[in-house]
Amino acid sequence: MFNISLKDNSVMQFDEPLSIFDIALKISDSLARNACCALVNGQPKDLRTILSNDCKLEILTFNDEWGRAAFHHTTAHILAQAVKRLFPDVKLAIGPKTADGFYYDFDGQFSLEDLDLIEAEMKKIVKESLPIDYFELDRQKALELMKNEPYKIELINNLPMDAKISFYRQGEFTDLCAGPHIMNTKFVKALKLTSIAGAYWHGDEKNKMLTRIYGTSFTKATDLNDYLEKIEEAKKRDHRKLGRELDLFTILDEAPGMPFFLPNGQTLKNILIDYWRKIHKANGYKEISTPMILSKDLWIRSGHWEHYKNNMYTTIIDEQDFAIKPMNCPGGILVYKTQLHSYKDLPLRLGELGIVHRYGKSGTLHGLMRARCFTQDDAHIFMTPEQIKSEIKNVIDLIDEVYSLFGFKYHIELSTRPKDSMGSDEQWAEATAALKSALIEKNLEFKINEGDGAFYGPKIDFHLEDSLSRTWQCGTIQLDFQLPEKFALEYIGADNEKHCPIMIHRVVFGSIERFIGILIEHYGGRFPVWLAPIQVKILPISEKFNSYAQNVFDTLNKNAIRTQIDMRAEKIGYKIREASLQKIPYLIIIGEKEVNTNQISVRSHHNFTTTIDEFIKNILQLQ
């Protein structure tokens, strides 16, 4: 007899081994019908898995992250099966799940027209209701089975000698795979191939360029339709498109991956920076600025040279090696070292709007979202061990205040020690426990992201949800015991002895440029009044009203309202349409009636007539 503990803490007892699917059937037919995979003691498993010992079981559906992963990964196999049916000579590479679907890499050429054929074949496979079977082979038999698939042969040869080599079969198609997968192709009720791109094998540009086909799938056609509608809306909101249309930024061939901010974009950026400075001053931060280029010796000492040098730009000055900073933290540490500190000085909160450069391959660059040059709104907090938890809570509150202002919901992940890290197990355990304890005491829900911490410490990541329900990782709180030790930082304690401080690295916006990209897409370019680069545009109907329009402009300008005036000899309808495309919150129309009554006509979400003084009063309340 063995016990199965379920998600609701109930316990089921069984006398003989059962598959997870059979256990799901005993709970309810509905659960078994919708189940995709399961977690057994926290590890993802197939529904085919036989249980015979005490364990904790969580049966997952498409609504769960791992359930969706199994569902999408299965659809990737359906894609590969369809391709092999239509193009037998094509060679298979890999086909993982993505954030909202899947892709598969093939050694073969496809056109956009081929996607329609492949998608149709995938739907045939779904209708065939093929059961999906799992089996294992020893290395020799696995190599024999995959003898015509060179990429699979390479993957098998790269596995440890004692690794179990697992496969999934559906109909005539078999693929090397660790799983998990759903039970049958028939459950993929809705699917869509979305795009095609090139991708290097193993992401290495020295390797062969493969063809990557992207897609997504759902359990219901209505969910697929909703998703496709969001994709179309996302295209309309693409920050690169709106960036051009609203004269916010551009990226030129002379500086790939490094944005140029135009006057409207710089205004928007300055508004965010002014807001950043205001809230940080209110929260006890002192602003600093550190050099953009620092010696190689510094980066070796900080550990970045060992862990991050492939992403760093380097140069030689006076026959010595230097690097353009990819992070601000070593500079902040050097600022700390310029003075002797007492425990009475701590916590010391140093904020910096530092421009950093990181090398990214050209294929990964994406407007403001993935750039090679950007501004990090960093802060580094130096503190005593007793202050750790309260400082973490303060940063959480600050981040929540900022995200709430922009109307963002968010979820939190706690990332633990990665394989490539430095420091003792004890320090990592203490740092991780401190972050976890602060989240629990703040009564915040969070998930554990195993092995995704920084190389010097665990971290809390904040993932924003925008108006299209997409998530973006922005804010982070990293707790660091390592760099203060490496740089021999000290403070004089209450015992009059020297001690090493603890350090928090944190950002709120993350990258200001990336945050602007997120805001552009979140608002669709229609920014709230306080954030809009141009808040008001004045449109005189004809030249004879230009004098009055100029007076209105001067009055608004004196009241620090961001205003433009269009005195071109164009028809008013044309000027209104053009200004509307610029998504300016308020359009003021000036004609004979307005001049005679000493008023203004305003076009916004609703049209109204008012005095200039009343308009200024109302708009200043929105600042």
Closest CA to 309 of 451, 204, 473, 455: 455
Q: What three-state secondary structure class fits 497?
A: coil
Active-site pick, 505, 522, 537, 562: 505
How many residues appear in the chain? 623
**Can you point out the beta strands (E) in 21-163?**
35-40, 43-45, 50-51, 55-61, 91-92, 102-107, 132-137
Active-site pick, 77, 240, 380, 522: 380
**Distance between CA atoms of 533 and 523, rounded to whole angstroms?**
13
- Report residue 120 as tokens: 């149709």
The question of whether 499 is a catalytic residue gets the answer no
Provide CB contacts within 8 A for 201, sequence distance 6+.
93, 105, 151, 207, 208, 210
Plot region of 253 (φ>0 → left; ψ -120 to 50 → alpha; else → beta):
alpha
The question of whether 459 is a catalytic residue gets the answer yes
Plot region of 42 (φ>0 → left; ψ -120 to 50 → alpha; else → beta):
left
Q: What three-state secondary structure class fits 325?
A: coil
Q: What is the H or E stretch that residue 198 is in?
A: strand 190-200
Contacts made by residues 103-106, CB under 8 angstroms, sequence distance 24+: 103/76, 103/212, 103/213, 103/214, 103/215, 104/76, 104/79, 104/80, 104/212, 104/213, 105/199, 105/201, 105/210, 105/211, 105/212, 106/80, 106/210, 106/211, 106/212, 106/213
Provide CB contacts within 8 A for 390, sequence distance 6+.
none
In this structure, are residues 480 and 500 in contact, taking their beta carbons and an 8 Å threshold? no
Active-site pick, 378, 461, 466, 480: 378
The question of whether 378 is a catalytic residue gets the answer yes
The question of whether 376 is a catalytic residue gets the answer yes
Active-site pick, 376, 427, 535, 564: 376
- Report residue 451 as tokens: 């092995």
What separation, in Å, do the N-terminal and C-terminal C-alpha atoms of the chain show?
67
The question of whether 329 is a catalytic residue gets the answer yes
What Cα–Cα distance (Å) separates residue 287 from each residue in 59, 350, 378?
Answer: 50, 6, 10
Closest CA to 354 of 371, 339, 373, 335: 373
Active-site pick, 36, 37, 177, 329: 329
- Report residue 596 as tokens: 């005679």
**Distance between CA atoms of 623 and 619, rounded to whole angstroms?**
7
Active-site pick, 72, 84, 325, 358: 358
**Distance between CA atoms of 623 and 168, rounded to whole angstroms?**
59
β-pairing, 55-61 with 2-5? parallel
**Distance between CA atoms of 325 and 474, rounded to whole angstroms?**
20
Q: What three-state secondary structure class fits 14?
A: strand
**Would you tell me how many other CB atoms lie within 10 Å of the CB of residue 435?**
25
**Distance between CA atoms of 164 and 139, rounded to whole angstroms?**
8
The residues facing 184 across adjacent strands are 131
Pinpoint the alpha helices (H) of 303-351: 304-308, 329-337
Active-site pick, 459, 522, 562, 575: 459
Annotated catalytic residues are: 329, 358, 376, 378, 380, 459, 505
